[in-house]
Amino acid sequence: MAETETRTFRAATPAGELALQIREGPRPSASLILEGMFLIDSDSAESERALAGLGLEALRRARGRAGVAPTRVRVLVGGLGLGITLRALLELPGVGSVTVVEVFDPIVQWNRGPLANLNGGALEDPRVSCFVGDVREFLTGRPGAAEAIGPSDAFDLLLLDVDNGPTWLALPSNAWLYSRDGLEVMRARMTPHSVAAFWATERAPDFEAQLADLAWGEWSYASVRTPVRPGEPPLECFIYFVVRAD
Protein backbone atom coordinates (compact mmCIF):
# COMPACT_ATOMS: atom_id res chain seq x y z
CA MET A 1 0.00 0.00 0.00
CA ALA A 2 1.45 3.37 -1.03
CA GLU A 3 2.38 5.75 1.75
CA THR A 4 0.90 9.20 1.95
CA GLU A 5 3.39 12.07 2.01
CA THR A 6 2.33 15.38 3.56
CA ARG A 7 3.73 18.67 2.34
CA THR A 8 3.11 21.78 4.42
CA PHE A 9 3.23 25.37 3.19
CA ARG A 10 3.12 28.27 5.65
CA ALA A 11 2.53 32.00 5.33
CA ALA A 12 2.28 34.87 7.78
CA THR A 13 -0.91 36.94 7.60
CA PRO A 14 -2.33 39.80 9.72
CA ALA A 15 -4.64 37.17 11.26
CA GLY A 16 -1.81 34.79 12.16
CA GLU A 17 -0.07 31.85 10.54
CA LEU A 18 -1.85 30.26 7.62
CA ALA A 19 -0.91 26.68 6.77
CA LEU A 20 -1.71 24.51 3.78
CA GLN A 21 -1.25 20.77 4.18
CA ILE A 22 -1.26 18.67 1.03
CA ARG A 23 -1.46 14.90 1.43
CA GLU A 24 -0.10 13.21 -1.65
CA GLY A 25 -0.76 9.63 -2.60
CA PRO A 26 -3.35 7.56 -4.47
CA ARG A 27 -6.07 9.98 -3.30
CA PRO A 28 -4.54 13.47 -2.89
CA SER A 29 -6.22 15.80 -0.41
CA ALA A 30 -5.53 19.08 1.39
CA SER A 31 -6.39 21.17 4.44
CA LEU A 32 -6.25 24.88 5.26
CA ILE A 33 -5.51 25.91 8.85
CA LEU A 34 -5.41 29.41 10.34
CA GLU A 35 -3.77 29.74 13.75
CA GLY A 36 -4.70 26.16 14.61
CA MET A 37 -8.33 26.46 13.36
CA PHE A 38 -9.27 24.15 10.51
CA LEU A 39 -10.93 26.19 7.78
CA ILE A 40 -11.51 23.44 5.23
CA ASP A 41 -10.46 19.87 4.43
CA SER A 42 -10.99 18.43 0.97
CA ASP A 43 -11.81 15.01 2.44
CA SER A 44 -15.02 16.46 3.89
CA ALA A 45 -15.86 19.03 1.24
CA GLU A 46 -19.10 17.71 -0.23
CA SER A 47 -20.99 20.66 1.25
CA GLU A 48 -18.61 23.09 -0.51
CA ARG A 49 -19.55 21.45 -3.81
CA ALA A 50 -23.19 21.52 -2.80
CA LEU A 51 -22.92 25.28 -2.23
CA ALA A 52 -22.36 25.71 -5.96
CA GLY A 53 -24.95 23.19 -7.14
CA LEU A 54 -27.73 24.07 -4.70
CA GLY A 55 -27.09 27.79 -5.12
CA LEU A 56 -27.47 27.60 -8.89
CA GLU A 57 -30.55 25.39 -8.50
CA ALA A 58 -32.13 27.92 -6.12
CA LEU A 59 -31.46 30.69 -8.64
CA ARG A 60 -33.14 28.77 -11.45
CA ARG A 61 -36.18 28.06 -9.30
CA ALA A 62 -36.47 31.72 -8.29
CA ARG A 63 -36.23 32.91 -11.86
CA GLY A 64 -38.58 30.24 -13.09
CA ARG A 65 -41.24 31.36 -10.60
CA ALA A 66 -40.74 34.98 -11.69
CA GLY A 67 -40.90 34.12 -15.39
CA VAL A 68 -37.37 35.40 -16.01
CA ALA A 69 -35.72 33.97 -19.12
CA PRO A 70 -32.51 31.97 -18.53
CA THR A 71 -29.28 33.91 -19.05
CA ARG A 72 -25.59 33.28 -18.55
CA VAL A 73 -25.17 33.58 -14.79
CA ARG A 74 -22.82 36.10 -13.21
CA VAL A 75 -21.49 34.70 -9.92
CA LEU A 76 -19.60 36.13 -6.96
CA VAL A 77 -17.67 33.62 -4.83
CA GLY A 78 -16.66 34.98 -1.44
CA GLY A 79 -13.84 32.82 -0.04
CA LEU A 80 -11.63 30.78 -2.38
CA GLY A 81 -10.35 28.18 0.08
CA LEU A 82 -9.08 25.09 -1.74
CA GLY A 83 -10.94 26.07 -4.92
CA ILE A 84 -13.50 23.28 -4.45
CA THR A 85 -16.64 25.41 -4.73
CA LEU A 86 -15.14 27.26 -7.68
CA ARG A 87 -14.28 24.04 -9.53
CA ALA A 88 -17.77 22.62 -8.91
CA LEU A 89 -19.36 25.84 -10.16
CA LEU A 90 -17.33 25.90 -13.36
CA GLU A 91 -18.51 22.40 -14.23
CA LEU A 92 -22.19 23.41 -14.11
CA PRO A 93 -24.06 24.64 -17.21
CA GLY A 94 -25.08 28.26 -17.62
CA VAL A 95 -22.22 29.91 -15.71
CA GLY A 96 -21.07 32.97 -17.64
CA SER A 97 -18.54 34.64 -15.35
CA VAL A 98 -17.21 34.19 -11.82
CA THR A 99 -15.59 36.81 -9.62
CA VAL A 100 -13.66 35.34 -6.68
CA VAL A 101 -12.86 37.44 -3.60
CA GLU A 102 -10.24 36.04 -1.22
CA VAL A 103 -8.74 37.98 1.68
CA PHE A 104 -5.49 35.99 1.91
CA ASP A 105 -3.08 36.37 -1.01
CA PRO A 106 -1.18 33.15 -0.09
CA ILE A 107 -4.38 31.17 -0.67
CA VAL A 108 -4.65 32.65 -4.16
CA GLN A 109 -1.00 31.84 -4.88
CA TRP A 110 -1.39 28.28 -3.56
CA ASN A 111 -4.44 27.80 -5.78
CA ARG A 112 -2.33 28.82 -8.75
CA GLY A 113 0.50 26.52 -7.58
CA PRO A 114 0.35 23.37 -5.44
CA LEU A 115 -3.47 23.25 -5.26
CA ALA A 116 -3.97 23.48 -9.01
CA ASN A 117 -3.74 19.70 -9.36
CA LEU A 118 -6.47 19.28 -6.75
CA ASN A 119 -8.96 21.74 -8.28
CA GLY A 120 -8.10 21.40 -11.94
CA GLY A 121 -6.51 24.84 -12.19
CA ALA A 122 -9.85 26.51 -11.50
CA LEU A 123 -8.40 30.03 -11.31
CA GLU A 124 -7.05 29.71 -14.84
CA ASP A 125 -10.50 29.32 -16.37
CA PRO A 126 -11.06 32.34 -18.67
CA ARG A 127 -14.45 33.00 -17.04
CA VAL A 128 -12.79 33.64 -13.67
CA SER A 129 -11.40 36.88 -12.26
CA CYS A 130 -9.91 37.13 -8.79
CA PHE A 131 -9.80 40.03 -6.33
CA VAL A 132 -7.45 39.77 -3.35
CA GLY A 133 -9.02 41.62 -0.46
CA ASP A 134 -11.84 41.75 2.04
CA VAL A 135 -15.34 40.79 0.87
CA ARG A 136 -16.79 43.80 2.68
CA GLU A 137 -14.49 46.20 0.82
CA PHE A 138 -15.38 44.53 -2.45
CA LEU A 139 -19.14 44.70 -1.89
CA THR A 140 -19.06 48.31 -0.74
CA GLY A 141 -16.70 49.39 -3.52
CA ARG A 142 -14.24 50.91 -1.06
CA PRO A 143 -10.75 52.07 -2.10
CA GLY A 144 -8.72 49.11 -3.21
CA ALA A 145 -11.76 47.46 -4.78
CA ALA A 146 -12.53 50.26 -7.23
CA GLU A 147 -10.98 48.49 -10.19
CA ALA A 148 -12.74 45.22 -9.37
CA ILE A 149 -16.31 46.39 -9.02
CA GLY A 150 -18.21 49.41 -10.30
CA PRO A 151 -20.95 51.30 -8.48
CA SER A 152 -23.71 49.55 -10.44
CA ASP A 153 -22.21 46.06 -10.78
CA ALA A 154 -24.57 43.31 -9.66
CA PHE A 155 -24.52 39.52 -9.54
CA ASP A 156 -27.12 36.83 -10.17
CA LEU A 157 -25.68 34.47 -7.56
CA LEU A 158 -23.57 35.15 -4.47
CA LEU A 159 -21.83 32.13 -2.91
CA LEU A 160 -20.33 33.00 0.47
CA ASP A 161 -18.09 30.48 2.21
CA VAL A 162 -16.39 32.80 4.67
CA ASP A 163 -14.69 31.39 7.78
CA ASN A 164 -16.92 28.58 9.07
CA GLY A 165 -20.20 30.48 8.86
CA PRO A 166 -21.91 33.00 11.15
CA THR A 167 -21.19 31.20 14.43
CA TRP A 168 -17.53 30.29 14.03
CA LEU A 169 -15.48 33.22 12.78
CA ALA A 170 -11.73 33.14 12.30
CA LEU A 171 -11.84 36.85 11.46
CA PRO A 172 -14.22 38.78 13.77
CA SER A 173 -14.66 41.47 11.10
CA ASN A 174 -16.59 38.96 8.98
CA ALA A 175 -19.52 39.18 11.39
CA TRP A 176 -20.62 42.14 9.24
CA LEU A 177 -21.52 39.79 6.39
CA TYR A 178 -24.24 38.22 8.52
CA SER A 179 -25.59 41.48 9.93
CA ARG A 180 -28.50 43.62 8.75
CA ASP A 181 -26.05 46.15 7.26
CA GLY A 182 -24.17 43.44 5.40
CA LEU A 183 -27.34 41.89 4.02
CA GLU A 184 -28.56 45.28 2.80
CA VAL A 185 -25.27 45.90 0.98
CA MET A 186 -25.54 42.46 -0.63
CA ARG A 187 -29.05 43.29 -1.81
CA ALA A 188 -27.63 46.28 -3.68
CA ARG A 189 -25.21 43.91 -5.46
CA MET A 190 -27.92 41.42 -6.45
CA THR A 191 -29.93 41.49 -9.66
CA PRO A 192 -33.73 41.07 -9.43
CA HIS A 193 -34.77 37.51 -8.50
CA SER A 194 -31.20 36.57 -7.62
CA VAL A 195 -29.86 34.41 -4.78
CA ALA A 196 -27.28 34.74 -2.01
CA ALA A 197 -26.14 31.46 -0.46
CA PHE A 198 -24.15 31.18 2.78
CA TRP A 199 -22.21 28.10 3.95
CA ALA A 200 -22.35 27.36 7.69
CA THR A 201 -20.87 24.67 9.88
CA GLU A 202 -23.97 24.70 12.11
CA ARG A 203 -27.41 26.27 12.46
CA ALA A 204 -27.17 29.97 13.31
CA PRO A 205 -30.26 31.24 15.21
CA ASP A 206 -29.10 34.87 15.32
CA PHE A 207 -28.48 34.88 11.58
CA GLU A 208 -31.85 33.24 10.98
CA ALA A 209 -33.48 36.05 12.96
CA GLN A 210 -31.78 38.60 10.69
CA LEU A 211 -33.01 36.74 7.60
CA ALA A 212 -36.56 36.50 8.93
CA ASP A 213 -36.54 40.28 9.38
CA LEU A 214 -35.71 41.06 5.75
CA ALA A 215 -38.41 42.93 3.88
CA TRP A 216 -36.94 42.19 0.44
CA GLY A 217 -36.03 38.52 0.58
CA GLU A 218 -37.29 35.02 1.26
CA TRP A 219 -34.96 32.66 3.08
CA SER A 220 -34.54 28.93 3.55
CA TYR A 221 -31.78 26.48 4.40
CA ALA A 222 -30.61 23.02 3.41
CA SER A 223 -28.77 20.41 5.44
CA VAL A 224 -25.90 18.67 3.67
CA ARG A 225 -24.36 15.51 5.10
CA THR A 226 -20.76 14.86 4.12
CA PRO A 227 -19.04 11.48 4.52
CA VAL A 228 -15.76 11.88 6.39
CA ARG A 229 -14.09 8.50 6.99
CA PRO A 230 -15.34 4.90 6.84
CA GLY A 231 -17.05 3.97 10.08
CA GLU A 232 -17.53 7.57 11.21
CA PRO A 233 -20.85 9.45 11.15
CA PRO A 234 -21.23 12.00 8.35
CA LEU A 235 -20.51 15.66 9.00
CA GLU A 236 -23.64 17.82 8.82
CA CYS A 237 -23.30 21.34 7.42
CA PHE A 238 -25.88 23.92 6.39
CA ILE A 239 -26.45 26.27 3.47
CA TYR A 240 -28.68 29.31 3.86
CA PHE A 241 -30.41 30.83 0.84
CA VAL A 242 -31.85 34.33 0.43
CA VAL A 243 -33.86 35.11 -2.72
CA ARG A 244 -34.21 38.74 -3.70
CA ALA A 245 -37.92 38.92 -4.39
CA ASP A 246 -37.90 41.96 -6.71
User: For the segment 91-141, what is each residue's pLDDT rounded down to a tens digit?
Assistant: 999 999 999 999 999 999 999 999 999 999 999 999 999 999 999 999 988
Q: Residue 202's pLDDT band (boundaries 50, 70, 90)? A: very high
Q: Give the pLDDT of residue 1.
A: 40
161 domain-assigned = yes
Question: Could you give the maximum distance between any two Cα atoms of the chain, in Å?
Answer: 58
User: Sheet of 155-160: strands edge to edge?
Assistant: 128-132, 95-102, 73-78, 155-160, 190-200, 235-244, 217-226
In a domain, 2, yes or no: no
Query: Does any domain span residue 220?
Result: yes
* Residue 15 belongs to some domain of the structure: no
Check whether 195 has a pLDDT greater than 50: yes
CATH code for the domain of 126: 3.40.50.150
Enclosing domain of residue 148: 44-244
pLDDT tens sequence across 20-32: 999 987 788 999 9
Q: Does residue 152 have a pLDDT over 50?
A: yes
CA–CA dist 18, 107 (Å, integer) = 9
In a domain, 192, yes or no: yes
| 33 lies in some domain | no
Nearest CA-CA partner of 123 in 133, 110, 135: 110
pLDDT of residue 173: 87
Most confident region among 19-28, 205-214, 223-232 by mean pLDDT? 205-214
Mean pLDDT of the chain: 90
Q: Is the pLDDT assigned to residue 9 strictly greater than 60?
A: yes
What is the per-residue pLDDT for 142? Answer: 64
- 155 found inside a domain: yes
The pLDDT, as a whole number, for residue 126 is 97
Count of domains forming the chain: 1
Residue 143 has pLDDT above 60, yes or no: no
Q: What is d(CA 32, CA 43) in angstroms, rounded to the nearest whole number? A: 12
pLDDT value for 69: 85
State pLDDT tens for residues 168-185.
Answer: 888 888 999 999 999 999
**Residue 52 within any structural domain of the chain:** yes
Q: Cite the DSSP H helix spans in 82-213.
A: 84-90, 105-112, 116-119, 135-140, 180-188, 205-212
- Fill in the DSSP letter of residue 187: H
CA distance 146 to 214: 28
Q: Is the pLDDT of residue 148 over 70?
A: no
